[in-house]
Amino acid sequence: MIIAIDGPAASGKGTLARRLAEHFKLRHLDTGLTYRAVAAALLAKGLPLGDEQIAIEMARHLDLAKMDKSLLSSHEVGEAASRVAVLGGLRGELVRLQKEFAATPPGAVLDGRDIGTVVCPDATVKLFVTASPEARAKRRTDEILSKGQEAEYASVLSDLKRRDERDSQRTVAPMKQAADAHLLDTTEMDIETAFQAAVDIVEKARAA
């Protein structure tokens, strides 16, 4: 079974993907981390974010098992990841790794922006998880504040909107709901309600 989950930043897709993987005993890949790992390596070496050949070279040295979410979760790395994600050749390299991960038994949950459309077009079930920009900005602000860091709602909101715009307007594999994806709008849901709704959708798809 392959569960494909797409959606914008701070929609809750990552938490849902992790919990669905636990629930259905599947492996999980947060594909955003692959773009973040390449971006972080470029930033650490002071290399340009727009050079496709260098970015591809970084991707060739990427080990999915060694990606450390805690080291890649910063706002700066997220922004840089969204920038390198426009490079078609880099995407080709990362998509190859992601497809390999998905094809390994017993199956997997992958979350990202182009899983249902490009990485796993034949997934057993596809979810497009979204929420209003305001709800996502509130969640992201609360999350940062809860870690004892500073965050200002208005700037978090404008950053999210800018990232949505870049991720959905790029020419190669833009963020898009696949025609056969189930839309899950979590604006008015807490995580438990969203999880139950997602489990129901997966169970129904599996039964069908």
Q: How many CB atoms lie within 10 A of CB 172?
A: 14
5 contacts ligand DC (rule: CB under 6 A): no
For the CA atoms of the chain, what is the radius of gyration?
Answer: 16
Nearest-approach distance from CB 78 to ligand DC, in angstroms: 5
- Selected from 31, 117, 141, 186, the binder of ligand DC by CB under 6 A is 31
Is the CB of 32 or the CB of 133 nearer to ligand DC? 32
Strand partners, 30: 111
Structure tokens at 77: 């790395």
Nearest-approach distance from CB 79 to ligand DC, in angstroms: 8
- Selected from 32, 55, 108, 126, the binder of ligand DC by CB under 6 A is 32
Query: CA dihedral defined by 171, 175, 181, 187, rounded to 10 degrees?
Result: -150
CA angle 101, 103, 104 (to 5 degrees): 70
Q: Report the SS3 class of residue 193.
A: helix
7 contacts ligand DC (rule: CB under 6 A): no
Q: Report the SS3 class of residue 32.
A: helix
Nearest-approach distance from CB 156 to ligand DC, in angstroms: 13
114 contacts ligand DC (rule: CB under 6 A): yes
Nearest-approach distance from CB 201 to ligand DC, in angstroms: 20
- Selected from 28, 113, 126, 136, the binder of ligand DC by CB under 6 A is 113
- Contact between 134 and 185 under an 8 Å Cβ cutoff? The reply is no
Nearest-approach distance from CB 207 to ligand DC, in angstroms: 28
Nearest-approach distance from CB 9 to ligand DC, in angstroms: 5
- Contact between 151 and 159 under an 8 Å Cβ cutoff? The reply is no
Kindly identify the residues of this chain, within the stretch 49-108, that bind ligand DC according to CB under 6 A: 78, 81-82, 85
Is the CB of 15 or the CB of 124 nearer to ligand DC? 15
Compute the distance between CA of residue 41 and CA of residue 155 in angstroms, rounded to an integer.
Answer: 26
Compute the distance between CA of residue 88 and CA of residue 118 in angstroms, rounded to an integer.
Answer: 12
Kindly identify the residues of this chain, within the stretch 159-188, that bind ligand DC according to CB under 6 A: 163, 167
By the criterion CB under 6 A, which residues form the site for ligand DC?
Answer: 9, 31-32, 35-36, 78, 81-82, 85, 112-114, 163, 167
